[in-house]
Amino acid sequence: MGLRLTVSDIWKTYNGDAVLKGCSFPFDSSGIYVLMGPNGCGKSTFLRICCLLEEYDKGEINYFLDNNMLEKDIGLRRRISLVLPKIGVFNTTVYKNVEYGLKIRGMTGKETEEKVDRALDFVGLYHKKKHNALTLSSGEIQRLGIARAFVIEPEMLFLDEPTASIDQKNTEIIEDIILKMKREGRSIVVITTHDKSQAEKLADRILIMKNGSIIDTNS
């Protein structure tokens, strides 16, 4: 059994407005969870909280590995990755943009190169590895963001509206990458989207955020 996440009764208020009002959900088996809900309902806030990037007012976020609860430390953070709807790129090659995450983890040499090449191949950007990342199209930049997350082999991957502002062709490529990632197997992927057909295409389970809480449509 791999990394699991239990979200229990999370509340979050911004400037007096409650956005999350008791969100609970167990992310306890590998596969793709799709979180849907209207603009502004709190999906991105929920993902940031799950990734330990934002404080919350009440409730608990707990990660487990083989029934042991993990400390919320740098070791845990390195098992998790969040891809934002609009990623920022560094003014350097596509290759170096992906290599960065491994370098800051102290990885060097042949193993790094193999991992980066594989991640670029995975998202169909291997042929652009020597190009400057700033020359990529928005769809390619989004794929680069996925490669950057993929290269560190996260056990839990969060994708916040991964196809929100890109064309149909790149949307389909990204959907195929996500399905391919699922076939590789062991990780839990959580995706937010507005697109019902995308949710149906990708999801093992569809969750709906409504009135600040999470509804599991499968139960």
For residue 42, the minimal CB distance to ligand ADP (Å) is 4
- Interaction between residue 193 and Mg ion (CB under 5 A): no
5 Cβ partners below 8 Å, 6+ apart? 26, 27, 28, 50, 61, 62, 63, 64, 156, 188
Selection from ligand ADP, Mg ion, none that 128 binds (CB < 5 to 8 A by kind) is none
Cβ proximity to ligand ADP, 88 vs 109, nearer residue: 88
The residue nearest Mg ion at its CB is: 44
Binding partner selected for residue 40 from ligand ADP, Mg ion, none, CB under the kind-specific 5 to 8 Å limit = ligand ADP
Q: Which does 191 bind (CB under 5 to 8 A by kind): ligand ADP, Mg ion, none?
A: none
In eight-state DSSP terms, residue 93 is B
| Beta bridge mates, 132 | 93
Residue numbers at the binding site for ligand ADP (CB under 6 A)? 14-15, 19, 37, 39-45
| Binds Mg ion (CB under 5 A): choice among 30, 44, 142, 187 | 44
The minimum distance between CB 81 and Mg ion, in angstroms, equals: 17
Would you say 27 and 5 are in contact if contact means Cβ atoms under 8 Å apart? yes
Give CA–CA dist 217/194, Å, rounded: 16
The tokens for 61 are 């976020």
- Are 57 and 13 in contact, with CB atoms under 8 Å apart? yes
Nearest distance in Å: CB 218, Mg ion: 23
* Surface-to-core class of residue 114, CB atoms within 10 Å of its CB (0-12 exposed, 13-18 middle, 19+ buried): exposed
Residues forming the site for Mg ion (CB under 5 A):
43-44
